[in-house]
Structure 1
Amino acid sequence: MASVHKKTAKHYLTAFIVIAAGVILDQWSKYMAVLHLQGTDGVDLIPGVFRLTYLENRGAAFGVLQGQQWFFYIITAVILVAVLLVYRRMPAGRKFLPLRVCAVLIVSGALGNLIDRVGQGYVVDFFYFELIDFPVFNVADIFVTVSAVLLAVLLLLYYKEEDLEYIFHSRK
Structure 2
Amino acid sequence: MGFLLGILIIVADQATKYLSFQYLMNKKPIVLIENLLELHFVKNYGAAFGILQNQRFFFIAITSIVLVGMSVYMIRNRNKLTQVANLAMGFLLGGALGNLIDRIRLGYVVDFIKVDLRIYDFPVFNIADIFIVLGTGLLIYVILFDKYEKSMGDVQ
Relative to the length of structure 1, the TM-score reads 0.80
Match of 1:127 among 103, 113, 116: 113
Question: Alignment length, in residue pairs?
Answer: 150
Native 8 Å contact 1:90 1:96 kept in 2: no
Aligned-partner SS, 1:124: strand
Q: Does 1:67 align with 2:51?
A: no
Question: In the alignment, which residue of structure 2 is the partner of 1:113?
Answer: 99
Residue equivalent to 1:88: 75
| Structure 2: segments with no counterpart, 5+ residues | none
CA distance in 2, matches of 1:31, 1:38: 10
* Alignment of structure 1 residues 93-104 onto 2, 5 Å: 96-104=82-90
Superposed CA RMSD in Å reads 2.0
Flag structure 1 segments of 5+ consecutive residues without an equivalent.
1-13, 165-172
Using the TM superposition, give the Cα deviation of residue 37 of structure 1 relative to its aligned residue in structure 2, in angstroms: 0.8
One-letter amino acid matched to 2:128 = A
Q: Provide the secondary structure at the position in 2 that maps to 1:56.
A: strand
Q: Which amino acid aligns with 2:84?
A: P
Structure-1 separation of matches of 2:148 and 2:49: 32
Q: Helix, strand or coil: the match of 2:143?
A: helix
Identity of aligned residues (%): 37
Query: Aligned partners of 1:72 and 1:43: how far apart in 2?
Result: 30
CA distance in 2, matches of 1:102, 1:119: 26
Taking the aligned partners of 2:103 and 2:148, their CA distance within structure 1 comes to: 37
Q: Give the direction of change, closer, same or farther, for the CA distance of 1:161–1:101 in structure 2 (3 Å limit).
A: closer
- C-alpha contact (below 8 Å) 2:6/2:94 kept by paired residues: yes
TM-score (normalizing by structure 2): 0.87
SS in 1 for 2:140: helix
